[in-house]
Chain A
Amino acid sequence: MTDFNNPLAKVRGLGSAKQGSAAWLTHRITAIANVPLVIFFVVSFVGNAGKGHAEWVAWLKQPLVSVLLILFIANFTHHMRAGLKEVVEDYIQSHGTKFTVNLLITFVCVLIAGLSIFSVLRIAFGG
């Protein structure tokens, strides 16, 4: 098919970036993975409700729990970034604001992932 878009129009974001399907699929794949992970999360937190610091640490130190928590954090931050970006892309019109907010979303999601995963590892490997 003949492509009528000139290269400048494409780099300005006026043509397809050819990454839409990948972004769309990532959003759905992380959604599917979130189903069992959310069940694990909710069941665990209800099961440990009202426990003290030592009991929570002992629970988290179990290898399976540490791994599932890290996978949950990695997965939901990825999903969260995709979802928040989608909302921004739909409702914010100005290119500059859109770019800035999207950048902020990415940074916050990575920060959440970094801090949470580090905390889990610190407890898992801590004395």
Chain B
Amino acid sequence: MAKAKRPLSPHLQVYTFSAAMAASIIHRITGSALAVGAIFLTWWLVALANGHAYFNEVQGYASHPVGRLVLFGLTFALMQHFASGIRHLFTDAGKLYELKTNRNTAVATFVFAAVMTVVIWIAAYKVMGAF
């Protein structure tokens, strides 16, 4: 039998830019980034269970500027994936397909993610007594 040519989802390069397309692609990118974040969370939990010496070492990496930047990025990824995921649940239920609504909610996922990321980090720095 000849090798079957099964249909695949359209690849990234065929799309012209739109908010909905960006939300969809970035949902997958942030999801994949969060998988890496899950590995960091595992590392952190293992360190916490291991004892204070190793925990402090790992916390040191996390508070290094590069560590902070990675965590900041992961916060944005989590918030974007969170908002976009909820939007996906609505589209799965057949809602939000009105063109304007679809575009506005796609834009809203990015606005939500940006605002929440800043809010979370201001709150975290406040808890740490930075100001």
- Which listed residue, A12, A35, A49, touches B127 by the CB 8 Å rule? A49
Residue of B nearest to A48 (CB): B127
Q: Which residues of chain A are near B46, meaning CB under 8 Å?
A: 115-116, 119
A-B contact count (CB 8 A): 90
Within 8 A of B (CB), among A55-108: 56-57, 60, 76-77, 80, 83-84, 87, 90-91, 93, 108
The interface residues of chain B, by DSSP majority, are classed as helix
A28–B78 contact, CB under 8 A? no
- Bound Cα distance from A83 to B52, whole angstroms: 35
Q: Which residues of chain B are near A35, meaning CB under 8 Å?
A: 82, 86
CB distance from A92 to the nearest CB of B (A): 9
- Bound Cα distance from A38 to B127, whole angstroms: 19
- Bound Cα distance from A43 to B4, whole angstroms: 49
Contacts A84-B32, A91-B9, A115-B45 given; does A31 touch B89 at CB 8 Å:
yes
Contacts A38-B82, A46-B123 given; does A119 touch B49 at CB 8 Å:
yes
A123–B8 contact, CB under 8 A? no
CB of B23 closer than 8 Å to a CB of A? no
Q: Which residues of chain B are near A93, meaning CB under 8 Å?
A: 8
Q: Which residues of chain A are near B127, meaning CB under 8 Å?
A: 46-50
B88–A53 contact, CB under 8 A? no
Please give the number of chain B residues whose Cβ is less than 8 angstroms from any Cβ of chain A in the complex: 37
Q: Told that A12-B4, A50-B128, A76-B38 touch, could you supply 9 new A-B pairs with CB distance under 8 A?
A: A9-B1, A31-B89, A34-B85, A38-B78, A49-B125, A80-B35, A90-B8, A112-B38, A119-B48
Q: Which residues of A contact B (CB under 8 A)?
A: 9, 12, 14, 28, 31-32, 34-35, 38, 42, 45-50, 52-54, 56-57, 60, 76-77, 80, 83-84, 87, 90-91, 93, 108, 112, 115-116, 118-120, 122-123, 126
Q: Which residues of B contact A (CB under 8 A)?
A: 1, 4, 6, 8-9, 11, 28, 31-32, 34-35, 38-39, 41-42, 45-46, 48-49, 51-52, 55-56, 78, 82, 85-86, 88-89, 92, 120, 123-125, 127-129
